[in-house]
Structure formats: structure tokens, C-alpha cells
Amino acid sequence: MTYQTGNASSVVDLLSKLATFAQSVDGWVVDKIDTKAKELYLHNENCFWSLRVGSSNSLPTLYIVINNQFNANLSWDNQVGSSSVNGKANFYRYYWGAGTNFHHEPFASYTFLATTQYIHVVVRVDSRRFRHFGFGTLKKDGVYVDGHYAYGTHSTNTNDTSYASYPFTSDMYLYIGSREYRSFASVVRVNEKDYFFGANESGYEGMGAMGIGDATIKRDYKPHPDMLLVEASLSQFNNLITLVPQSIYLHLASKQYQRIGVVPDFYVARIDSVVPGTIREINGEKYYCCAATMFQTVTSNVQDEDNSYDLGYFYRVIE
């Protein structure tokens, strides 16, 4: 794994530094970086992605789209096989891509973690606030085509966590309709079909994907079987942490659930006793530990979408 930390003055600066970083990682190719257009196109052996800086709720926002190839003559969200096109057609009236908004610039720091299989990014916006985005290919369960994903962390300046879009959210029964805050969902591609996290639209009720990226945030309507593992991930007696893999399930038109794999080197657990933004050794390996958004131990009936309570993300680090 390649691991890098640094500072960025803006989302565009972060995108530029991400392009330089990606070029240093075995297996990754930068097809185009255009800081004026605020766009980045890159691929590895398995898939293509395009990233673009825009805005949402007057906040700087980064969007990620899965593609089948790179074509310099096509726009960032209209490449061949674009998940943005598929999302607009099948689920979200306003779907752009997996979205991450940042509330303010510059950033306190960023962390890039990568292998030939993925690139994961953690942005520490300020001393307490974190944002997460990334793209790559699942560690698959079973035999199927694709397994590519893109995810982000998006909020809407409201006081309700149900309006936030955490990486790989597990809520499968959200009403989307014309609500634009659902246009930033994570996505996974399986057998040439895009499954959106939290998808539920007339004619597609329940079809989509789910993970545990928002475990312990809103506990209603969470069918993911690993939810209770996250709840019990921190021992109150000996301060041991049990890391729960970010496992991905599809909810099919048949109303059946199918586990398709895990996001590599991305784990979820409670962080009551962990200082967010630090590297901690667990079971002989190093992990970068951080809050899902902002860490604050309060009861779950106090809703604030930028407060992830005791929910933490753990990224495996190999230096």
C-alpha cells in the first residue's frame, strides 16, 4: 500500500495532489488532470473513474463517477458506461456521482491510502471534522463481473442525520423522489449494472446496495446483518477493538439479499476510546483511525448530520 499525508488549500488543490499521488502508485494511470475545469480522469487495470469539483448547498463538493473507458471528447459525467448517466435514468433525477462536500477550505490535512486495487482518501477538514471518499474494486465474494465502487460523504446543512449520505450507507428504504440531497449516493457496479446505496424509487423499491458506513447513526430500517457487530466492536472491559469489514450486500428485485464482497482495507468500529486522526496498532497491524464525520459521544436522539457520535472508520496502513 502507498500512504501519504499532507495539506491542501482547496478541493482543486487536493485533486491535483491526488493526481500526482496516483501516478506514483503501481497500476494506476492518470488519463487527464485539468485544474481549470476542476476535473481528474484516471484508471487502473479494472476500471475507469472521473472526478469533478463542483458545489452543493454553496459548499465545495467533489463528485466521482464510474466509467467503462476514457474519452477526451466527452464530458466528465457522460463518459461511456457512466454511472452518472445510469443514475439519472434509473434512480435519481439529479444524480451526479458519489458526492463529498467539505464545508470550508483550506483543510487541516489529507491522507491518501492506495494499492493497485483502490484509492481511499480521508480529508481532515478541521480539528474535529472528517470527510471520506474513494474508488476501487471490491474483494469479491463469488464469481461475477465488475465489483467497482465509488463513495463519498455528503451533508445538507440540516439537523437530521437521515439527510446525510455516509459512505456505503445501509438504509435501503429511503424516499428519494425529487429530493436533491439523495443525488450523491455511493454506487457499486455488478455484472454491468449499477446499484446505488439507499436507492428506492417508484418501480425500483428496495433495489440497491447497502453497507455499514452509517452503522450506529440512524438505527431504523437497517437490515444489514453486521450492524450489531459494530455496536459491540469496542469492549467496555479491556478496551479491545474488533474491526468490522465494510461488507457490501445487494438487495435484488427478488427481495433477496446477496453478499458480494468487502471494501478492501476499510473497516468500521466504535471509537469511544480512540483519538480520531491517529494511527493505532490493532492485532499487530497499523490502522488510520478517524470519525465518520465528527466524533461526539451523545445519545442518538440528538440528531445532527455532522455528528457521527461514536462511529469510526479504520483504514489499514502499510508504510
pLDDT by residue for the chain (319 residues), tens digit each?
589 999 999 999 999 999 999 999 999 999 999 999 999 999 999 999 999 999 877 889 999 999 999 999 999 999 999 999 988 887 666 788 999 989 889 999 999 999 999 999 999 999 888 999 999 999 999 999 999 999 999 876 655 555 677 899 876 544 444 455 567 889 999 999 999 887 554 455 557 888 998 876 655 556 788 988 898 888 766 678 899 999 999 988 777 889 999 999 999 999 888 888 999 999 899 999 999 988 766 555 545 557 788 889 999 997 7
Give the whole-angstrom CA distance, residue 269 versus residue 231: 8
Q: Which residue has the cell 494506476?
A: 28
Instruction: Identify the pLDDT of residue 274.
Output: 85
Q: How many CB atoms lie within 10 A of CB 141?
A: 15
What pTM value is reported for the model? 0.92
Instruction: Identify the pLDDT of residue 221.
Output: 57
Instruction: Identify the pLDDT of residue 173.
Output: 46
Instruction: Identify the pLDDT of residue 206.
Output: 58
Q: Which residue has the cell 506514483?
A: 24
Instruction: Identify the pLDDT of residue 160.
Output: 59
Give the whole-angstrom CA distance, residue 294 versus residue 310: 9
Q: What are phi and psi of 315, to 5 degrees?
A: -110, 130
Give the whole-angstrom CA distance, residue 302 versus residue 286: 33
Instruction: Identify the pLDDT of residue 87.
Output: 85
Check: CB of residue 102 under 8 Å from CB of residue 11: yes
SS3 track for the chain: CEEEEECCCCHHHHHHHHHHHHHCCCCCEEEEEECCCCEEEEECCCCEEEEEEEEECCEEEEEEEEECCCCCCCCCCCCCCCHHHHHHHHCCCCCCCEEEECCCCCCCEEEEEECCCEEEEEEECCCCEEEEEEEEECEECCCCCEEEEEECCECCCCCCHHHCECCCCCCCCCCCCCCHHHCCCCEEEECCEEEEECCCCCCCCCCEEECCCCCCCCCCCCCCCCHHHHHCCECCCCCCECCEEEEEEEECCCCCEEEEEEEEEEEEEECCCCCCCEEEEECCEEEEEEECCEECCCCCCCCCCCCCECEEEEEEECC
